[in-house]
Amino acid sequence: MTRRNPLILIALVLVLAAGPALADDDDFVGTYFAFADQGPAALTFKIEAGGTSDIIFDVGPTLLAGSSFTDDHGAWKQTGPREITIRSISFDYFSSSDVPPAGEVIGSAITTFVITFDDDFDEISGSQSGAVYARGVNPLRPGDEDPLFTFGGNFAGERITVDSDSDSDSDSDSDSDSD
């Protein structure tokens, strides 16, 4: 009769109870292109090592006629096995000369993005929600100030890579066959 080591049994129980392993931060790092279900229609996420992020929106309608947002800059952290949360800041300004004066800042927006990655970290899906506060209100600590407006929506997209399956790459392949 063999005697089993209780330490091996305890280690096995701990491994099974731990659940799915968290991804390495490097798995998230990259640039992603996504389409939103509400305006703006397209956006890119640049997720950088060290926990910083940049988000660029295409030109789309906003809730205030004649206004636009600057690009978002923020910070991210891992919040699940294949999930991160980004918190970012942008500025809302009058973009139309019809709304005097063009370029004047309306306020600051704070946006929270929750992004889930597929198993290979090639595809993303997620949600965004945020609020715009009047000029002079710190959106990180608005206190009792009510936002000018709130917004939200969902998005889905994919990692931008150098390798491509597009038809434009097939032209260079045919040149090498002529030797």
Q: CATH number of the domain that 83 lies in?
A: 2.40.128.30
Does residue 68 fall inside a structural domain?
Answer: yes
Q: Can you tell me the distance from the alpha carbon of 63 to that of 69, in angstroms, rounded to the nearest whole number? A: 11
Does residue 168 fall inside a structural domain?
Answer: no
- Select from 55, 36, 69 the least CA-distant residue to 149: 69
State both tokens at 8: 């091996």
- 33 vs 30, 56, 122, 133, 144, CA distance in Å? 10, 10, 11, 27, 36
How many structural domains comprise the chain?
1
Does residue 171 fall inside a structural domain?
Answer: no
Beta strand 72-80 pairing with 67-69: unpaired
Does residue 66 fall inside a structural domain?
Answer: yes
Question: 72: domain range?
Answer: 21-157
Q: Determine the pLDDT at residue 15.
A: 45
| 86 three-state secondary structure | strand
Q: Determine the pLDDT at residue 174.
A: 45
| pLDDT < 50: residue spans in the chain | 12-19, 61, 168-179
Does residue 74 fall inside a structural domain?
Answer: yes
Q: Determine the pLDDT at residue 67.
A: 67
Does residue 6 fall inside a structural domain?
Answer: no
Does residue 175 fall inside a structural domain?
Answer: no
Q: Determine the pLDDT at residue 105.
A: 73
Does residue 7 fall inside a structural domain?
Answer: no
